[in-house]
Every structure is written in C-alpha cells, then in structure tokens.
Structure 1
Amino acid sequence: MAGNTLKTCPDICPANTVAAPPKEYLKAGMSRGPENPHASPYVPGMIKPPEPKVYPPGAPPRYLPQPTDSTSGDILGMGPIGPWAAGHLDWTPQAGTTGVRPVVDKYSITRYSTGEWRNHNLFMLTPRATDKAKHADATIKRDIKIANENLDKKQDETNSNLGKRVKDLGYWKKQVEQTLRAMDDEIELLDQDRSKLKGACRILNLPEAISKECLELRTNRYEPDLVRDDAEQELVKEVAIVGEIRRVFENTLAKVEEQMANNRAAKSAIESDWNDKMVALKVDKQCLSFTPESSLLLYHPGVARWPENASNLEYWLHYCAESIKNCDEVRQKSENLRGDLMTAIVKGGQDLKTQGDRTNAALAESVSTTEELRDKLEETLKDNLKTIADIENLISYLKDELRKLGERTKLNMTRLHARNYDRPNVENCRDEAQYALMAEAKFIKETTESFNGRMREAEAIRSELMKYRGDLEKEIASKRKSLNIDQDRLARVRAHMPKPEEFAGG
C-alpha cells in the first residue's frame, strides 16, 4: 500500500549497519579456566559416592571475636574480652584484652551520730535560770520527740531502700550464677569436643599411612602393569583428601583453642562480677540487720560523702546487664564452634569413608579386569602350546617326507647311473625310460627344495611361537603379581581403615 514503509527485522536487516565488534580469542599462555574439578579448595562433604562402571568426573571464621563487638558500652571501645576484667591502670587501646575495672565493692550509708551531739548542745544551751530551764525543758523535749519521729522515718526509709537494694543484688547475683554455670558447662563440653578433635587428628594418621602404603605396594608391580589406572587415581585422591581433612581439623583446632581462651576470660570476668556482688550483698544484708542497739556500731568520721570511685545506679544496671550479655555472646560463639567442630569431624569421616569405598570399588574392578585378562592369557598360552605341538609334529612329518624323498632320489640316481655307464655302445640311447628318469629326477629335486623351504618356514613359525610363549608366561606372571598385590596385600592393609564412628568418638 502507498504510504506504508517496508518493515524489516532489525536483527537480520538493520537499517544502519554497525560493524560487529571483533571477536577476541585466547592468546598463547591464556587459560580457559580451571579444568580440574578438584582445583577449588577442599570443602567437607564434596566427595560423591562411587558410581558403578561409569566413571564420572569426580567455616574466620565467623566464629572469631569481632573488632566491632561491644563489651560494656563504655567510651574506651574495648576488644572482645571487655573492660570488666581485672587489670592494671596502664591500659592502652593496643592491649585489647584488659581494661580499667571500676571499683564497685565499696558501699556506704550516710549516718549521723546525733545522740552525743545533741547532748553536747543541750549542755551548752541550757540557761542557768529556772524559767529558762523550764522553757528549755519543754522545748527540748518537744524537739527531741519531733527529731526522734523524723529519725525513725528516715531510718525506716533507709531500711526500705536497703531491703530493695538487697533484692536487686540477689536478683542479679542469681542471674550471674546462672550465666557462670552455663559458661562452666560450655567450657567442659568444648574441652570434651576438643579432645575428640585431637583424637580424630591422631586417627587420621592411620588412613594416610594405609593409602601411602597401598601406593608403595603397587609400585612393586611388573613393568607391563605399572599403569595409572583408576585404582591408582583413587589412591592418590585418597591421600589428598586425608591432607585436606587434616588441614580442616588443624584450622578448627586452632579456632577451638582461641575460643577456649575467650571462654576462660569471660568466665574470669563473670566470676569477678559474681564475687563483687557477693561482697556487696553481704555488706548490704549486714547493714540492713543493724539497729541502734547493735553492739558493732562505731564512729567513722568523714564517711558522710560520696566516694571518688562510686558509680551511679544507671551505670550499675548497664554494667550488670552488659556483663551477662558479653558472657552469653562468648558462650553462643562457643556453641556454634562446637557445632562446626562436630560437623567437620562427622563430614570428614564420611568423606574419607566415601573415598575409601570409591578406592575399594576401583581396586575391585582392577582385580576383576586383571583376572579376566589372566584367564584369557592362560587360555591363549594353552592354545599356543597346542599350536607349538602341532607345528613340531608337522616338522617331524616334513623330516619323514624328506627322508622318503632321499630314498627316492637314491633310487633315481642309481637307475640313471646304471643306464648311463653300464649300457654298451648303441644301447646307450635316449629312450622313453631315459626321459622318464630325467623327468623324475627333476621333479624329485623340485619337491625336495619345496619341502626344505616349508621346513625352514615351519622352523621360523616354531621359533616365533616359542618367543610368544615366553611373552605370554611373563604376562601371566605379571598379572599374578598384580593380583597378589591388589587382591591380597592391599586388602589386608585396607581392612584396618578407620570408620566414621571412630572419628566421632575421638
């Protein structure tokens, strides 16, 4: 139609031809990427179970204290241990493990010794006159009554606050005790798992020694069987997997040692907090039990003031909660690490068992193939021996025929000699008998030469068969040697391969 533009596909017929970017090819020395499927770092659990006949191609950890972790919320910005561990006053940000611990083990109450002070004032203000005495008597008694009532109120208020403080200290002491018991249990469990990991590291020496001994035994095979077969590949992979598992175990053990130090530091800090709370609770209970009639009351001049190292209530509450929180955080990291530790042990043992199954399967297949080849070689050797016997019989038969040809040759020669030299004069003629004897001599000579050629051919064939027999016997001996190594000696050695349960049990 008129006015309609021709629509074309922009991918096939672009309106504006743009030159395609030149193709880039790999230059000399450049790699297309890793071709080995095991080039990446080893991860427990990556080994797949063995497959029949078809051969397919084959946690720092977060769990370490973080620099941004808060220990107490103070302005010092301490490291993973926290500023509440007992330390020296010469703390520096580079230390990272100790801090200035605020002194919280001194508590006091404001107390006034009013009795003697009032008695002294009464003595100084009592007038010498009687009216003044009466007025003073009434006034002082009234003041004393009011003062005693106010003192009782203040003392009741103080006792109430002390009782409330004792309850708060008892609550936080109980929380600290629970945290401390949980940390004790965690340290004990982590120590047990560490012992299991060390035992797994010791047990790991056995499969490594077994794999290396199997590789060394297979080097004793004879020359034709020194091949890089699947069994050899699996044994080499088994040695590599043992090394990777050992690397994971050693890294995990280093993390466990570091976490154990953190656990003990957290336990020390929480024990210090618990000890401070026990002392403070004992002091406050003793203060709460005091009455004006107690026998342990003494004068302590100058105590009615705030100590220089006294903390406020908000900071004390923050410290109590933060101390428990820090200990719980360390304990949680320890629990996570224990989970990773047992996962590494279990997965490592399973991977080693899986690889052992793959190796045993490859060895069994190699043994089966070698047995089939040995049987075939023995059958071929029997056929070769039978063929040698047949060719020797043939040679013997050819010798008999040559001997018979010799007799015929002598007969023919005797006849020709007699007819050539014994017939006189004209009788020595070339008759039909003479021509027949000459033809017979020629045929006997040709037949003898043919038989001698066949004799040489048979002798060469027998020599070749004898050489082939020796080669077959060497091959059979080689296969029997390989079967003895793979089927007997390697089987006895690999029977001691540890099971995954032994790794988990430590």
Structure 2
Amino acid sequence: MDPSKTCPNICPTSDRREDVKIYKEAGQSRGGELAHAAPYVPGKIKPPEPRVYPPGAPPRYLPQPTDSTSGDILGMGPIGPWAAGHLDWTPQAGTTGVRPVVDKYSITRYSTGEWRKNNEYTLTPRATDKARALESQTKQDIQNAFTNLDNKLNDSDKKLGKRVKDLAYWKKAVEKTLDAITEEIDTLDKDRAKLKGACKILMMPEAISRECLELRTFRYEPDLVRDEAEQELVKEVAIVGEIRRVFLNTLAKVEEQMLRNKAAKSSIEFDWSDKMASLKVDRKNVSLSPDSNLLQWHPGVARWPENATTLEYWQHYCAESVRNCEEVRQMSVDLRGDLMTSIKNGSQDMKIQADRTNAALAETVAATEEMCAKLEENLKENLQKIADIENLINFLKESLRKVDERNKCVMTRLFARNYERSNVENCRDEAQYALMAEAKFIRETSESLQDKMRQAQTVRSELMKYRGELEKDIACKRKSLNIDQDRCRRVRAHMPTPEEFAAG
C-alpha cells in the first residue's frame, strides 16, 4: 500500500504511540477543578457564609458582577441535590456547560445568572420611547383632525341653512297654490252637489213614476188594464229620462274636471308633503351638533341615493308643479259658468205631466170605488145564505147522531137475542121480527138524512165558491184602490216642484 494515499489518522504508517485520553468515571474528581467535590468526610460541613455584594450593586434579582453562566460552579460531589457525573455532550452543552440534571425532585436547566439576566430583560421597558413618540404624533394628528372636522361642520351648517331658506320659499309657494286649488275644489264640489241634488231630485220623480208603474203591476188580473193613468205614467218616465240625459252629460264633464282637480291637488300635496318632510329633516339637521343626545350609528349612509336628483331638476319641478296646478284650476273656473243652466231645464214640463197623471189616477179610482161597493153588497147576501145552509147542516148532523143512537140500541138487542138464547129458545118470534123491521127502518132513515146532508154540503160549496169569487173580486178592487188611491197618491205627494229643482 502506498503510504502517500492513506490517511495517517486512519491508517497509521508508524508504530508511534500517542497519549491516550482517560475519562473520569461518574463521581470522580476532575483534579483540583472542584475542590469541594471530594468524598464526604464527617465533621467537615461548614456553616453558611453570608453573601457580600459590592457597593452600588444592582438588586439581587438583577445580574451581578460575580455571576457566571458556566455550570462548573455547580458541585458534582457525592452529596447534594445533583446526580453523579458531569457530561457535556447534550444540546445545552454550548449554552450552560451542563446537562440537565434530574433527580426525583426537580429538573435543573438554567443557572442563577441566567435567571437574573432573564429578569433584567423582562423589566427593561423596550417600547417606552416608541410610545412617547406615538403619543406626541397622535395628539398632534387628533388636534388637526378636529380642527378640520369643525371647519367641515361649519360649512355643512351654512349649506344646510341656505337649503332651509330655499325649501321655506318653495313651501310657501306650494301652500299658496294648494290653498287655491283646495278652494276651487270646494267651490266646484258645491256646484256639483247642486247638480247632483238636481239629479237626485230628478231621481225622485222617476222613482215615483216607476214605483207607481210597478205598484200597478201588483193589481189582480181583472184590473190589469192599460188605462189612461198607465199611459200617463209611461210618458212621465220618458220625460224624466230625457231630462236625466242632459243632467248626466253635464255631470260627466264636472266629474272629469273634478278628477283633474283632485289629481292636481294630490300632486301638489305630495310636493308639499315632501317639502315639509325635507324641511323638517333639514331643520333638525341644522339643530344637531356632536353634543346632541339623538345621535346614532347608521353604517353605509355616506353614499349617493339611487333616486337622487340634480338641483336644476328640483327647481324646474317646483316651478312646473305650481304652473300645472294653476292651469287645472283655471279650467275648473271656466267650467262652473254653465252648470246652473243645465239644472233648470225641463222642470215645468215635469210639473204639467205630473198633474195629468194625477187626474187620470183620480178618475180610475172613482170608477173602482163604485164597483167595489156593489160587490160588497152581493157578498153580504151570499154570506147570509151560507149561514142558513150551515145551520141546516148542523141540524142534519144532530139528527144523524140521534139515529145512530137508535141503531146501536136495536143492534144490541138483536145481538143479545141471537147469541145468548140457547137451543129451542132461539126462535123467530114477533119480537124478533119487530126488531128486524126497526133496524131496516133506521138504516133507510139514516141513508135519507145522509143524502140530504150531501145536498146541503153541495149547495154550501157552491155558495162558498161564489163567496170566494166575490171576495177575490172585492180584494182585486181593494188592491187596485190601495195601489191607485193610497200608495200611488202617497208616493206622488212627494213629487218635486220646479223651485226645488232650481234650488238643487
């Protein structure tokens, strides 16, 4: 093997012997480095010596000049709280020089000097200078910020005050227009009320005429005739219809104008309401300050609303709203000029037609009363005959009851003789023949009386039928009299006069 190609530390080429390192066993002394690590000798334990700190030394919990971070100061003797041995191959060997010593009580990792250095690090105020600088800068920034905030607040207050003045001006203009259109609506409503009153008054004669016609349809069949009164009532309804057509045409125009007036008023009221709400909001905003007790958080309000308009459009809208309302009001004033003329048309013709109808009804009533009196006279005679026949029927019923009693008597005798006599005693003697003859005569008499009863009942039925016919005819005439004389006359007493039409 070539000696130049070998490592002398691995493959030595000579027999040179080097010093062999000898390691101490656990618990052995390291040769004077730790004198107190000698084996225990009885009586050699010394009393405690007080620690003396140099003058001006820091507190005992802070690092001292005599502190050391080496673990060699720790005694590794055969007694004490330490385990035997001293090894330095652990990861902590470069920091403390000792391995963590473990016994059954504790684990030791740091020295007293390290504990004091950690206390010094903990008590050092590292952020104090930074805090002082931050405090000074922050106070200056806050002062500048509040100065700017006060300027912005004053500017906002001035702009809000100007806006309140503009809103107050337009609110007053809108209120003036609103009062004018409201007064016009009230005036037109009064005139419309007159026209509606005329229509209602017109409804009365029409309702009277139609009610009279309808009432006359309730007459019974013999009196359902198209007499002169009927024709006059039909003509009266036709005249009312023509007058209504004129009234309704005028009323339609008034209603259309009223809708325009109300629409204009509603629009101007909405505008007034919006201005009042905006004025209230801005006045409230003007009165608010950072010291007010009505302040709240409203996240997300610092943005333009989607329905926000421009200032130019707002001014244009205010002027147009007032102008449109004034135009509608002028149209309403022009329409009210022709309203009263329509109300007075046709009232005199209706009065004349009502007089003609009343005269025809009076003539019909007189003829019906005469017929009704004659029918009542015939009814009295018929009732008397019915009473006589009913008395005869009652007498026949009493006679039949007496005949039935005699029939029961003879039947009882015959039953006893036929079934209670025995043997040869049950014979046809003269008494038996007499009882049989009596029973036959009673039966014939009963049949004769029953035939008379039937005849009397037939006559009574005919009289009752005739009575019904008379009563029906009398009821028919009284119904007609009640309709024509009482109900129609009472209804027609409310027929309006031309003066009532003119008054509306």
TM-score after normalising by structure 1: 0.35
Q: Which has the higher contact order (CA 8 A, sep 6+)?
A: 1
TM-score after normalising by structure 2: 0.35
Larger Rg: 2
